[in-house]
Amino acid sequence: MSDPKAERTFIAIKPDGVQRGLIGDIIKRFEQRGYKMVAGKLMWAPKDLLLNHYKDLSDKPFFKGLVEYMASGPVFAMVWEGKEVVKMGRKMLGATNPLSSEPGTIRGDYCIDMGRNVCHGSDAVETAQREIALWFKDDELNDYEFASKGWIYE
């Protein structure tokens, strides 16, 4: 990473968000906030990747359905970089249950049901590091200076 104070997070637009044409709107929100995308790809996630990604939920009754749903269509996987991007990314997404999400958040504006909540976002810096490594090879992560950095950060 070019900035030692910056952190990275993993954000994925789930199949419902891709099918509803929300990729551009979601990217726009992160860009407008001032975060820098360092990786992004549209992909059909393999089941083994999803089983590994969601392994901490494997004992939950909804686990099988979640994996099947996430494998049902393309996902847009992204890595965003910036100051406290993990915590702020979660705030921008809103509560996991869209009906508990505030208007103005991504889920609050675009979702109704928890099983169709448009996005996944890492919940901690350590989780983000693990998820980024699962979804992206090192050479897919771009390290560059953001031209507007001086206008975003002091």
For the question of residue 53 being annotated catalytic, the response is no
Among 82, 120, 131, 132, which one carries the catalytic annotation?
Answer: 120
pLDDT along the chain (154 residues), means of 10: 81 98 98 97 97 95 95 98 97 95 97 94 97 98 93 92
Q: Is 90 annotated as a binding residue?
A: yes
Could you give the 3-state DSSP secondary structure of residue 39? strand
User: Rounded to an integer, what distance in angstroms lies between the CA atom of residue 2 and that of residue 87?
Assistant: 20
User: Rounded to an integer, what distance in angstroms lies between the CA atom of residue 32 and that of residue 83?
Assistant: 14
105 contact partners, CB below 8 Å, separation of at least 6: 91, 92, 93, 94, 95
Q: Tell me how many degrees the CA angle 150-87-93 measures, rounded to the nearest 5.
A: 100
Q: What is residue 5's predicted lDDT score, i.e. its pLDDT?
A: 73
Alpha carbon 4 to its chain's center:
21
Q: What is residue 1's predicted lDDT score, i.e. its pLDDT?
A: 65
Q: Is 30 annotated as a binding residue?
A: no
Q: What is residue 4's predicted lDDT score, i.e. its pLDDT?
A: 61
Q: Is 33 annotated as a binding residue?
A: no
Cα dihedral 29/7/57/24 (nearest 10): 20
